[in-house]
Amino acid sequence: MSGETKRSWKDRILVELRTLSLTVLYLWILLSVFALHREIILAHFEISYSEKFGLALLNALILAKFMWLADLLHAGKKAAGRPLAHQVVWNSAIFSAILVACHILEELLIGLWHGRSAVQSLPWNNGTTMHEIFETGIVMFVVLIPFFFTRGLIEMLGKDEVKKLLLNPVPKSAALPAKS
């Protein structure tokens, strides 16, 4: 019996690590694209931008950990049992708010690390406008929609069925007829 318990704990840990790894990968790709976009825009104004993909990976690790902890604390579970569209919107909103709070906390900690006071370290006292913070929340909300949609499909249909839907070719008999 203890062998079964150990196996189930091992299985659970492996599932959690896999979920965390996929979340880190998703966030890293998105944050890397944002860093590349920022670099392209700043290059247009001949401003050097040194933040690269390593920092995006570090941020992805930190944000994924906060998302994982929020998930363990059942953030977003209020939408459970509702239609998938409702769950996706609700979870995207809740988790984007959590990620914006993490961003504010990160700015605060960076400011404290550089010897500024807590008040001086807050983003809105350090050159970032509330408008920019709101925009960050909106962007996070939008980029989390596919994440939670895919996660919801996996919960509803199962991992194997979603893999089949995404990776197998559609049979010609199931394809929609072409419009004339």
Mean pLDDT split into 10-residue runs, the chain, 180 residues: 62 88 92 86 80 81 89 82 91 92 85 86 78 88 94 90 87 65
Note the pLDDT of residue 147.
Answer: 93
**DSSP 8-state code for residue 52:** -
Q: Enter the pTM of the model.
A: 0.77
Q: Is residue 178 part of a domain?
A: no
Q: Is residue 173 part of a domain?
A: no
Q: Confirm whether 53 is domain-assigned.
A: yes
Distance, CA of 111 to CA of 12 (rounded, Å): 38
In 10 A of CB 14, how many CB atoms? 10
What are the structure tokens assigned to 136, written together? 């960050």
Please tell me the distance from the alpha carbon of residue 141 to that of residue 143, in angstroms, as a whole number.
Answer: 6
Question: Distance (Å, rounded) from C-alpha 63 to C-alpha 96?
Answer: 10
The domain of 154 spans 2-167
Number of structural domains found in the chain? 1
